[in-house]
Each structure stands twice: as structure tokens, then as C-alpha cells.
């Protein structure tokens, strides 16, 4: 028996229900796919409020070091207070490990409810730059000494007219950060035989941040001219761009025209939830945060506090994140089996409340029951 150690962060709120329902499903996926030769061993890690309560630190060094050592981890959502309190531990973790790519596939499969007439046309991958932009967390509160000092500098030295009672934030987007991210995404597109990459920016308004993001990503794309085309050349990956507001309309009206969306941090965050809405919602939207030395797999959704402890949430996004992790680790068969078992379960209209409420005449099952159903199918499962 080969033991595979995987660090995990349980997460807050509904994340706890999801973790408890999903743990055995993930174990079973590997055990079955490897004919009993490999077994997962979980290493619990602390982060967020729980870490603060138990260890006096929102992101203990041990958590970061353990992920670095194992190069991989799976994580539930962590709560971040709005408007005050501590900064996002999710963002901090991505920055501490330099996980500069956030990969969020949004793919329809039969049985999922959708507001679209032809949801089968949705097969998008949102690639979100994960370390820069407004998420850098450089901001100052209205009325603070720092805000006052910066306002004074901007007014006196830069000639900018600003309200005295403004809060201020800084939006850094660098050439280096954009280039390494774009390079990673193009290489991913080549390896996975994707057909197009669309840069999603607001460069008409934010010329030196989002406009520069567009320009620098084209610069990198030109290095790949053997594989990438700017004129929709047959057999090459089409590289184009759209202004962000237009992109939100495009994914609803013509999702079939889009494939990989290459986004700065904030645009990617917004688009991820919007696109998840095309295929049933956040309950089925997985994700990965990837760097050169480590990767953390986590659902797109947050801790959905309203549903915490009620055994109601959908564990699909967490499980699909697990399937992405298995593929990343070379356990492709486990990933594929898990995805097939999920798709089979949903196609039989065995779904949690978030999907059931969008479907006619379907009674929802609990989070734990849904997970049991998947486990059953894993036991029967065959490779496709």
C-alpha cells in the first residue's frame, strides 16, 4: 500500500459540512482507481479564525511551510469580515506561496440547471492573475493619517483633484507579473489543446494597469507565434481580447465563442461567479491556485454562512476541485472516475437544494446524502 499525504484546510461555515461529506469520497476515488494500492492520508492545517483561536495567528507559519513541503493542498472556503477586521487569509495564502494562477473551469454537464437555452455550449476556463491588482490589499481608510498624507501628495505634487474624505486604494499590475501569468496560461492552452484565449480588461479606462495588462499579454503571445494566431488561423490558438463589461454580456449570449479567459485579478473574480451562474451556480464551480512550487485546490465559492451546519450545501465544487488536484498529481484515473461519478449522480437528478430549486419537481438531498450517492457510484464505477 502506497500512502499519499495531502494537507487540507477544512474551511469555515458551509466548508465544514462539505469537508465532512467529501473526505471519504476523495479517499474512495483514489482507492478504487488504484485498485487498493494507494491510500490518502490527510494532514490537517489551520488558517483563518480557527487558526487565530487555537494558535493566535490567522495564517500560522506551519500551514505555509507544510503546503510548501507537500507542494499540494486542498482547502475549504475561509470567512473574511467585510469592511473591517482582518484581511483575507485566502488572498494572503496565495501571495505567501506565490500561487500566481487561479484556474477555474466552468463546464456544463447534463442534468445541471441553467438559465441558458443551450448550456451545453458552456466550456470556459477562467484564468485569473492571483497575486496583483487591487487584491494586493494596499488601501487606506478615509480620515486616516496615511490617506491624508497620500491625498496631500496627490493634490500638491500630482495636481489631482480629490475629495478630502476619500478612502484610497492602489491597483498595481506589473509587466513581470502579467508576463509570467500569460506565459503559464498559453503553455496550459497548448498542452490541453484549447482553441482560444481572450484577454479580459478594462484598458479603455484604466490605461496603465488593465490597458498595460492587455499590451503585455500580447507581447508574450507574440513569443508563441508557432502556436498562437491573432487572425484566427486554422489549427492555432486564437488570441484576442474583449473589454470586461462586454465580456459579461458575451458569456451569456455567445458562450460558444469563448474558451480561455485571461483576466487580471478582480475581473477574474467577478467573472468566475457570473459564469458559474450559467451552469447551476457556485455549488458546482471548482478551482485551483497554482504557482511554480505549490498548488492549492479550492472551490470558487465562499463559506456560505447561511447554510453552515445545516448539511444542505453542495459539495460538488469541492469534489471537482479534488478531481483537479488528482489530475495535477498524476492520479488522472482517480480524477476521471470522480468526475464521472458526480456527473452520473447529477444526471439522475440526485442534487442538493441549490440545484433542486432551479429544477421542476426535484426534491433535494442533503450534502451528506449526495456524497454517499457519489461514493456508491465510485464503488460500481468503470473508466470511460
Distance, CA of 221 to CA of 214 (rounded, Å)? 11
- The answer to whether residue 77 forms part of the interface with ligand NAD (CB under 6 A) is yes
Instruction: Evaluate whether 282 touches 320 at the Cβ level (below 8 Å).
Output: no
Give the interface segment with ligand NAD, choosing from 105-113, 248-256, 295-303, 335-343 (CB under 6 A): 295-303
Residue number, 241 or 343, with CB nearest to ligand NAD: 343
Query: CB-side exposure of 252: number of CA atoms within 13 Å?
Result: 9
Distance, CA of 138 to CA of 133 (rounded, Å)? 9
**Which of 105, 268, 280, 302 touches ligand NAD by CB under 6 A?**
302
Site for ligand NAD in 269-288 (CB under 6 A): 282-283
Distance of CA 343 to the CA centre of its chain: 20
**Which of 22, 196, 229, 303 touches ligand NAD by CB under 6 A?**
303
Distance, CA of 76 to CA of 287 (rounded, Å)? 11
Give the interface segment with ligand NAD, choosing from 152-160, 191-199, 203-211, 312-320 (CB under 6 A): 312-320
Give the interface segment with ligand NAD, choosing from 113-121, 220-228, 230-238, 313-321 (CB under 6 A): 313-321
Residue number, 31 or 342, with CB nearest to ligand NAD: 342
- The answer to whether residue 214 forms part of the interface with ligand NAD (CB under 6 A) is no
| Annotation says 360 is catalytic | no
Give the relative orientation of helices 14-33 and 316-328 as an angle to the nearest 10 degrees.
Answer: 40
Instruction: State the number of binding residues for ligand NAD (CB under 6 A).
Output: 19
| Annotation says 117 is catalytic | no
Distance, CA of 384 to CA of 166 (rounded, Å)? 57
Q: Is the four-CA dihedral 263, 230, 184, 321 of positive or negative sign?
A: positive
Q: Closest by alpha carbon to 69, among 260, 330, 293, 312?
A: 293
Give the interface segment with ligand NAD, choosing from 75-83, 126-134, 194-202, 374-382 (CB under 6 A): 75-83
Instruction: Evaluate whether 287 touches 298 at the Cβ level (below 8 Å).
Output: yes
| Annotation says 245 is catalytic | yes
Site residues (vs ligand NAD, CB under 6 A): 14, 77-80, 90, 282-283, 298, 301-306, 313-314, 317, 354
> Which residues are identified as catalytic?
135, 202, 245, 269
Amino acid at each position: 500500500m502506497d500512502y499519499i499525504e495531502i494537507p487540507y484546510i477544512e474551511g469555515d461555515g458551509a466548508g465544514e459540512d462539505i469537508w465532512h461529506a467529501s473526505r471519504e469520497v476523495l479517499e474512495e476515488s483514489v482507492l478504487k482507481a488504484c485498485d487498493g494500492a494507494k491510500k490518502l492520508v490527510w494532514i490537517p492545517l489551520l488558517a483563518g479564525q480557527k487558526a487565530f483561536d487555537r494558535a493566535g495567528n490567522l495564517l500560522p507559519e506551519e500551514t505555509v511551510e507544510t503546503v510548501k513541503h507537500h507542494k499540494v493542498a486542498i482547502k475549504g472556503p475561509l470567512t473574511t469580515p467585510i469592511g473591517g477586521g482582518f484581511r483575507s487569509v485566502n488572498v494572503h495564502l496565495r501571495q505567501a506561496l506565490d500561487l500566481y494562477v487561479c484556474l477555474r473551469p466552468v463546464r456544463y454537464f447534463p442534468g445541471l440547471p441553467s438559465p441558458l437555452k443551450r448550456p451545453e455550449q458552456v466550456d470556459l476556463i477562467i484564468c485569473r492573475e492571483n497575486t496583483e491588482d487591487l487584491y494586493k490589499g494596499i488601501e487606506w481608510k478615509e480620515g486616516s493619517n496615511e490617506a491624508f498624507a497620500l491625498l496631500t501628495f496627490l493634490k500638491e505634487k500630482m495636481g489631482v483633484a480629490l475629495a478630502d474624505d476619500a478612502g484610497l486604494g492602489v491597483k498595481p499590475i506589473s509587466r513581470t507579473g502579467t508576463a509570467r501569468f500569460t506565459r503559464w496560461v498559453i503553455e496550459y492552452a497548448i498542452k490541453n489543446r484549447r482553441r482560444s484565449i481572450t484577454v479580459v480588461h478594462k484598458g479603455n479606462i484604466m490605461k496603465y494597469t488593465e490597458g498595460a495588462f492587455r499590451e503585455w499579454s500580447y507581447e508574450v503571445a507574440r513569443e508563441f507565434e508557432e502556436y498562437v494566431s491573432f487572425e484566427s488561423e486554422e489549427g492555432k490558438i486564437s488570441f484576442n481580447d474583449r473589454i470586461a463589461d462586454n465580456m459579461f454580456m458575451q458569456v451569456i449570449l455567445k458562450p460558444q465563442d469563448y474558451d480561455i479567459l485571461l483576466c487580471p485579478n478582480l475581473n477574474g473574480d467577478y467573472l468566475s461567479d457570473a459564469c458559474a451562474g450559467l451552469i447551476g451556480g457556485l455549488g458546482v464551480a471548482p478551482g485551483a491556485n497554482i504557482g511554480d512550487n505549490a498548488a492549492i485546490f479550492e472551490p470558487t465559492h465562499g463559506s456560505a454562512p447561511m447554510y453552515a451546519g445545516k448539511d444542505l450545501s453542495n459539495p460538488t465544487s469541492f469534489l471537482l476541485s479534488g478531481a483537479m488536484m488528482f489530475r495535477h498529481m498524476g492520479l488522472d484515473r482517480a480524477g476521471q472516475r470522480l468526475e464521472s461519478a458526480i456527473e452520473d449522480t447529477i444526471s439522475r437528478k440526485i442534487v442538493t437544494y441549490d440545484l433542486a430549486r432551479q429544477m421542476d419537481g426535484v426534491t433535494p438531498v442533503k450534502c451528506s446524502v449526495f456524497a454517499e450517492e457519489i461514493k456508491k457510484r465510485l464503488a460500481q464505477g468503470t473508466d470511460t
